């Protein structure tokens, strides 16, 4: 957690990993890395959608309705979530 | 490829070669029958809570550990109603000697009754959207809650590629599904089918809904007894393997019973109150279909919900259909033992009837305390009765006035 209460990029990446393994129970966690995409991990379309849902629920953010749910890879996802959380923190003052 | 022999006159005789059950007595037909024969009841007080609110109703809950039967991945998409159906289907196919028989199953069908479908996920979705005010439902909400999930998962597990669908007519769903499956096999649209019903709805919202309709007993289900106060909830699944007698004999399968007659009818009267004429029509149609005389029916597995009105109406119906013979036949309510399993009720009750026929033991009515002058037939109140019987009928009546009767007889 950073000083202002926003999770660090490393924490966000770990949370995305957790969301993926929660949905894809038979996935070998050692395959997870910032560079890998959902498709390369073998997620079906419904599984990928479910991972995005889990991320939205965990961080209490909106990705789908904002058109931000098309992650190129996990690092890209971390980046999007980081900026959404920072923007929310700034708006909360 | 299963060969199809169409018979437009529906003259294939249809027999039961396997049965599977999950009920308040446990997993499997052996546990179901042991519980029924014991004369006891699986019904007890069941509490469901939501944020400090709670509701308690009498219910018979199926005791099983999902991880003993399914992988975690399967459990993510399979609601309990699907799990129960899959477990019963496995047992039924195993008993029929058809598990893994790809050729025999390719052209088969799966026709099941189910009243509510995925009630658990539906309740969770309502909490998510309206209580937590979140903008999105879980992405698996639709495939989890769809009624047809149960037949598609069973079909996929066993390679069953013929006609599969769900019939949803509330408390008569299971009997309607069996009747439809029998018609399908009689006419040769499939040589064999899995038929029956499933239900899982002992959850907060559904308990509240039925309680509000004042149909649920305070303590337990006491069919035909003075002091009865309604039904108890039940959950479970009953699945039968039915096939043409020809096919069963060809492969040397053990035959448990013949489904000799089906009768379906509609009350066209009241959304909730049963009529006498509707069930009479269903029963008479089933007897005519089976070409059996009323006096040949030794046992009636009643709808027997334990509500004030149902039990009086059903007693009257039986007197009208059977005349003087009504005083001689035996009639009991399995709902007194495993609760009202809604979409699974007709199937579990038919299975109980067939198991009783095989054992030469008549299933009892449990929880009876005292006579009601308006219910004056032989309800087998002393416990399971050792007495062979060869022909029986099982009845189901649903809200909306939808009725079904199924005649079964020991294989001859």
Task: State whether residue A12 sits within 8 Å of chain B by CB.
Answer: no
Query: What is the pLDDT at residue B145?
Result: 97
Quick check: B72 and A62 CB within 8 A?
no
Q: Which of B319, B248, B337, B330 is nearest to B279 (CA)?
A: B319
Query: What is the pLDDT at residue A69?
Result: 85
- Residues present in chain B in total: 412
In Å, how far is A12's CA from the nearest CA of chain B? Answer: 21
Task: State whether residue B139 sits within 8 Å of chain A by CB.
Answer: yes
Query: What is the pLDDT at residue B104?
Result: 96
Contacts of B76 in chain A (CB under 8 A): 23, 25
Q: Using 50, 70 and 90 to split pLDDT, how confident is the model at A2?
A: low
Quick check: A56 and B136 CB within 8 A?
yes
Query: What is the pLDDT at residue B3?
Result: 58
Task: State whether residue A57 sits within 8 Å of chain B by CB.
Answer: yes
In Å, how far is A25's CA from the nearest CA of chain B? Answer: 6
**Block mean pLDDT (10 aa), chain B, length 412:** 75 97 98 98 97 96 96 94 98 98 97 97 96 94 97 98 98 98 97 98 95 94 98 98 97 98 95 92 98 97 97 98 98 98 98 98 98 98 98 96 97 67
- Specify burial of residue B130 (Cβ count, 10 A radius: 0-12, 13-18, 19+): exposed
Q: Rounded CA gap, B112 and A80, in Å?
A: 46
Q: What angle do CA B219, B220, B226 make, to 5 degrees?
A: 95
Q: Rounded CA gap, B243 and B181, in Å?
A: 9
For A39-89, the pLDDT digits (tens) are 999 999 899 999 999 999 999 999 988 888 889 999 999 999 999 999 998
Quick check: A56 and B140 CB within 8 A?
no
Q: Rounded CA gap, B254 and B248, in Å?
A: 8
Which residue from B minimizes the CA distance to A50? B139
Contacts of A23 in chain B (CB under 8 A): 76
Which residue from A minimizes the CA distance to B137? A53
Task: State whether residue B7 sits within 8 Å of chain A by CB.
Answer: no
Angstrom CA distances, B260 to A67, A82, B287, B332, stand at 60, 68, 9, 20
Q: Which of B211, B222, B238, B198 is nearest to B47 (CA)?
A: B211
**Residue B336: which residues within 8 A CB-CB, separation 6 or more?**
B41, B43, B220, B221, B222, B223, B304, B306, B364, B365, B366, B367, B368
Task: State whether residue B142 sits within 8 Å of chain A by CB.
Answer: no
Task: State whether residue B134 sits within 8 Å of chain A by CB.
Answer: yes
Most confident option among A4-13, A19-28, A69-78, B295-304: B295-304
Q: Which residues of B are catalytic?
A: 171, 303, 340
Query: What is the pLDDT at residue B75?
Result: 94
Quick check: B76 and A46 CB within 8 A?
no
* Closest in B71, B135, B140 to A50, CB measured: B140
Residue A92: alpha-carbon gap to chain centroid: 22
Bridge-based pairing of strands B257-266 and B402-409 is antiparallel
Query: What is the pLDDT at residue A93?
Result: 73
Query: What is the pLDDT at residue B1?
Result: 45
Q: Using 50, 70 and 90 to split pLDDT, how confident is the model at A4?
A: low
In Å, how far is B74's CA from the nearest CA of chain A? Answer: 10
Query: What is the pLDDT at residue A5?
Result: 74
Q: Which of B289, B193, B173, B197 is nearest to B242 (CA)?
A: B193
In Å, how far is B143's CA from the nearest CA of chain A? Answer: 10
Task: State whether residue B76 sits within 8 Å of chain A by CB.
Answer: yes
Q: Rounded CA gap, B92 and B235, in Å?
A: 18
* Closest in A26, A49, A65 to B139, CB measured: A49
Q: Rounded CA gap, B389 and A22, in Å?
A: 54
Q: What is the pTM of this model?
A: 0.95
């Amino acid at each position: 957690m950073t000083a202002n209460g926003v999770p660090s990029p490393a924490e966000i990446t770990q949370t995305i990993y957790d969301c993926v393994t929660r949905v894809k129970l038979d996935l070998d966690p050692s395959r997870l890395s910032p560079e890998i995409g959902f498709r390369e991990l073998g997620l079906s379309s419904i599984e990928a959608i479910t991972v995005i849902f889990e991320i939205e629920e965990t961080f209490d953010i909106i990705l789908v309705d904002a058109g931000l749910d098309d992650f190129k890879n996990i690092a890209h996802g971390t980046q999007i979530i980081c900026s959404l959380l920072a923007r929310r923190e700034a708006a909360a003052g | 490829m299963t060969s199809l022999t169409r018979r437009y006159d529906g003259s294939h005789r249809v027999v039961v070669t396997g049965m599977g059950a999950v009920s308040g007595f446990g997993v499997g037909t052996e546990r179901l029958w042991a519980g029924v024969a014991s004369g006891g009841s699986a019904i007890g007080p069941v509490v469901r809570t939501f944020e400090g609110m709670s509701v308690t109703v009498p219910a018979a809950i199926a005791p099983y550990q999902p991880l003993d039967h399914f992988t975690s991945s399967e459990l993510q998409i399979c609601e309990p109603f699907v799990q129960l159906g899959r477990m019963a289907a496995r047992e039924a196919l195993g008993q029929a000697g058809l598990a893994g028989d790809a050729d025999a199953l390719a052209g088969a069908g799966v026709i099941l009754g189910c009243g509510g479908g995925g009630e658990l996920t539906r309740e969770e979705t309502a909490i998510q959207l309206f209580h937590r005010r979140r903008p999105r439902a879980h992405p698996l909400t639709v495939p989890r809650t769809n009624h047809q999930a149960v037949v598609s998962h069973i079909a996929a597990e066993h390679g069953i590629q013929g006609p599969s669908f769900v019939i949803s007519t509330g408390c008569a769903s299971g009997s309607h599904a069996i009747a439809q499956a029998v018609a399908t096999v009689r006419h040769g649209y499939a040589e064999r089918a899995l038929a029956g019903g499933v239900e899982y709805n002992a959850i907060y919202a559904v308990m509240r809904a039925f309680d509000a309709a004042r149909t649920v007993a305070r303590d337990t289900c006491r069919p035909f007894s003075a002091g009865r106060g309604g039904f108890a909830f039940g959950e479970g699944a009953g699945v039968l393997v039915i096939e043409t007698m020809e096919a069963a004999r060809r492969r040397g399968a053990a035959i448990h019973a013949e489904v000799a007659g089906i009768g379906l009818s509609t009350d066209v009267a009241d959304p909730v109150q049963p009529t006498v004429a509707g069930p009479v029509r269903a029963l008479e149609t089933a007897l005519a279909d089976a070409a059996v005389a009323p006096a040949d029916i030794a046992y009636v597995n009643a709808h027997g919900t334990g509500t004030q009105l149902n039990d009086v109406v059903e007693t009257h119906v039986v007197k009208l259909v059977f005349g003087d013979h009504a005083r001689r036949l035996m009639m009991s309510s399995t709902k007194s033992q495993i609760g009202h399993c809604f979409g699974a009720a007709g199937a579990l009750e038919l299975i109980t009837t067939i198991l009783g026929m095989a054992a030469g033991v008549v299933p009892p009515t449990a929880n009876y305390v005292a006579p009601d002058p308006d219910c004056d037939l032989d309800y087998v109140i002393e416990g399971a009765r050792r007495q062979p019987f060869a022909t029986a009928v099982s009845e189901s009546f649903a809200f909306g006035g939808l009725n079904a009767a199924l005649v079964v007889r020991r294989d001859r």
